[in-house]
Amino acid sequence: METITVQIFKNDVYEEVAKATDYTGAKLIDGDEKARDRILATDSELSDLSRFWEEAVLATNERLKQMLISGTTKLVMVPLAASEKKEIAERTMPPIRPRKPAYEAKLEVSKSFDKELTANVQSALRNFFITSIIGQWFKFANKGEATDYFKQASEMMDGAERLLYSRKRPTRPSD
């Protein structure tokens, strides 16, 4: 068996949730001038409602439990951009790299899993977190669309799971 690691950064997810709820609220102005303020999930509200994040973590761990080695929210080092890597190589002292809260999952996959799909798995799980949290928020702020977001979240998780169970095609020996 092989092991892969995926990371979903909490701040990035919250930023996408805020954008989506702002956009939805702005589009629902018809007859309701306060829709945008009611539907927008601000940073302070999302941090108060961190249980939605924890519910997404629990749902992910439950769904992927057959291959899950560990799945927790913790502080992880922020990945460096290419320009930062070059700058660091030129320094004499190592940089202090910032840490951000993130869900980190270590998953045991088949030896024939195509590791190039790891980024796709991470993207699908990130989208699951985003749509799941929006759905949870909309249960309070925009009930009419909550069900659609839960359905999308389920589809995102299905996609991640399909990717994780996919295998590379076997190659024929050339000898």
Q: Is 114 helix (H, G, I), strand (E, B) or coil?
A: coil
pLDDT digits (tens, 9 = 90+) for 99-151: 999 999 999 999 999 999 999 999 999 999 999 999 998 898 888 889 999 99
172 lies in some domain: no
141 lies in some domain: yes
55 lies in some domain: yes
158 lies in some domain: yes
Confidence at 168, pLDDT banded by 50, 70, 90: confident
Overall domain count for the chain: 1
Which has more pLDDT, 24 or 37?
A: 24
Q: What is the largest CA-CA distance in the chain?
A: 73
144 lies in some domain: yes
pLDDT at 117: 96
90 lies in some domain: no
Which pTM value belongs to this model? 0.83
- What is the residue range of 47's domain? 2-81+98-165
The answer to whether 67 and 22 have CB atoms below 8 angstroms apart is: no
Classify burial at 152, counting beta carbons within 10 Å of its beta carbon; exposed 0-12, middle 13-18, buried 19 or more.
middle
C-alpha torsion sign, points 152, 50, 38, 144:
positive
Q: Is 107 helix (H, G, I), strand (E, B) or coil?
A: strand
Tokens standing for residue 165: 């169970």
7 contact partners, CB below 8 Å, separation of at least 6: 76, 102, 103, 104, 105, 122
92 lies in some domain: no
175 lies in some domain: no
